[in-house]
Amino acid sequence: MAKSQTRKTIHHSIIVPAYNEGSHIYDNLLAICDSLKGRYAEIIVVDDGSTDATLAECKRAAKVRRNIKPVRLQNNEGKGASLFRGFAEARGESIVFFDSDLEIAPHYIVKLLAVMQEAGADVVAGVKDQAINRFPAPRRLMSALYRNTVKLLFDLRITDTQTGIKVFKREVLENAIPRMSVSRFAFDLELLVAASRFGYKIVEYPVEVSYVRKGGMGRMKFGSLFATFIDTLKIYFRASFWRWLEPSAGTQFWMIFFVLGVFLAGIGFAKILSPVILQPALDKVSYIIFLRFIPAAIRDPMLALAGVLIVLVSLIQLNKSLLKAFARKDRGDLAGILRK
Ligand SMILES: Nc1nc2c(ncn2[C@@H]2O[C@H](COP(=O)(O)OP(=O)(O)OP(=O)(O)O)[C@@H](O)[C@H]2O)c(=O)[nH]1
Ligand SMILES: [Mg+2]
């Protein structure tokens, strides 16, 4: 049977990354299969270098359901790497990424595929329904911290990038994956940043996520949390206006010169204005504005810190506005001309 014929028949590819899920992967794969009854779907389960019976259990499931395809990564490379590996095998026009621990019920796969159709979307991201979020407090705190960091840094219209179910049009992954480099948990974010940069229509859909792991943190370790945070900063830099601009040494010199100028002007004006500010008439006002009620030993570092924070937040917002300007269409004016 020619390759093109088979491609026509497979509509959906469900890619399931699995790391040490041996105790339940067999039942979970069958449950995913059952939720897709009557659909032309393949389930590509990628064993990410597990050290337990995960691969054997996947093969056992593949024996009873012919549309289950086990793939093995020899070494543990991370969830992102597992999904990319699975995508290399995928033949469907719509691709679903679905966690193997069934924290999310399999019936959401069909639901999100329908949402993609109805909304005419290119990407549908499941997001934890916070109203029914019963995760342990430490996990809720972690994910709230991460969600707000992503909200501050990136201009994504998605409230939660890390939930374990997403649906894509094949084209989105074909364009995005070659530009990506994160292979562990932050890959979700990098993928959504790439998809939104390409201008694809991304919608979110609330899903119920039940907590299936033991302990307050589940399988999340501080090491992987820290690594995810570092990866997030790397994604931020790689997707930043600065990286696009790749300023030459000359441009960088003028940028530093600009900052120096602002700094010197600040000191100069402070010195010029301080005798004025200390005039009895303005004393009360300057007492409050310049925090003179706080001992200098504390006040000055606080002012410096406040200044640094203001610069940081302004740069983050500036980066977002500059990148947004990117996506703007040519308005037919001189400024809108871009080199062929
Ligand atoms: N933890 C972990 N999971 C991986 C890895 N590679 C693939 N996975 C799979 O990625 C999916 C998500 O991983 P989980 O460990 O469930 O991560 P999580 O849902 O954030 O954390 P939990 O709430 O503890 O389940 C699961 O299907 C894992 O089997 C890996 O290197 N580490
Ligand atoms: Mg999980």
Fold of 2-240: Spore Coat Polysaccharide Biosynthesis Protein SpsA; Chain A (3.90.550)
Task: Tell me which H or E stretch contains 73.
Answer: strand 68-73
Distance 209 CA to ligand 2 centre (A): 9
What ligand has the least distance to the C-alpha of 188? Answer: 1
What ligand has the least distance to the C-alpha of 218? Answer: 1
Of 91-95, 147-151, 286-290, the range with the lowest mean pLDDT is: 286-290
Task: Tell me which H or E stretch contains 69.
Answer: strand 68-73
Confidence of residue 192 (pLDDT cuts 50, 70, 90): very high
Ligand 1 site-directed mutation target among 19, 45, 83, most atoms within 8 Å of CB? 19
How high is the pLDDT of residue 8? 56
Q: Is ligand 1 within 6 A of the CB of residue 220? A: yes
How high is the pLDDT of residue 1? 43
Give nearest CA residue, ligand 1 atom 30: 78
User: In the predicted model, what is the mean pLDDT of residues 193-204?
Assistant: 93
Q: How many CA atoms lie within 13 A of 33 on its CB side?
A: 19
3-state secondary structure of 233: helix
Give nearest CA residue, ligand 1 atom 2: 19
Q: Are strands 41-48 and 68-73 parallel, antiparallel or unpaired?
A: parallel
Q: Is ligand 1 within 6 A of the CB of residue 100? A: yes
User: In the predicted model, what is the mean pLDDT of residues 227-232?
Assistant: 93
CA gap 141, 10 in Å, rounded: 40
Decide which of 292 and 41 is more confident: 41
Nearest alpha carbon to residue 149 among 134, 135, 160, 137: 160
Which residue is it, tokens 């504005």? 289
User: Does position 96 have pLDDT exceeding 60, yes or no?
Assistant: yes
Cβ contacts of 337-340, under 8 Å, gap ≥ 24 = none
Nearest alpha carbon to residue 97 among 46, 31, 133, 146: 46
Give nearest CA residue, ligand 1 atom 19: 164
Q: Which atom of ligand 1 is nearest to the CA of 81?
A: 6
In degrees, rounded to 5, the angle at the alpha carbon of residue 128 between the alpha carbons of residues 125 and 133 is 170
User: Does position 59 have pLDDT exceeding 80, yes or no?
Assistant: yes
How high is the pLDDT of residue 184? 85
Of 190-194, 284-288, 322-326, 329-333, the range with the lowest mean pLDDT is: 329-333
Give nearest CA residue, ligand 1 atom 26: 99
User: In the predicted model, what is the mean pLDDT of residues 83-88?
Assistant: 97
CA gap 43, 220 in Å, rounded: 26
Distance 79 CA to ligand 1 centre (A): 7
User: Does position 2 have pLDDT exceeding 50, yes or no?
Assistant: no
Percentage of the chain lying above the pLDDT 70 cut: 91
User: Does position 340 have pLDDT exceeding 70, yes or no?
Assistant: no
Q: Hey, which residues does 97 pair with through a beta bridge? A: 15, 166
Decide which of 156 and 115 is more confident: 115
Give nearest CA residue, ligand 1 atom 3: 19
Nearest alpha carbon to residue 134 among 218, 24, 220: 218
Q: Is ligand 1 within 6 A of the CB of residue 47? A: no
Q: Is ligand 1 within 6 A of the CB of residue 49? A: no
* pTM of the model as a whole: 0.85
- Domains of the chain: which residue ranges? 2-240, 244-336
User: Does position 301 have pLDDT exceeding 70, yes or no?
Assistant: yes
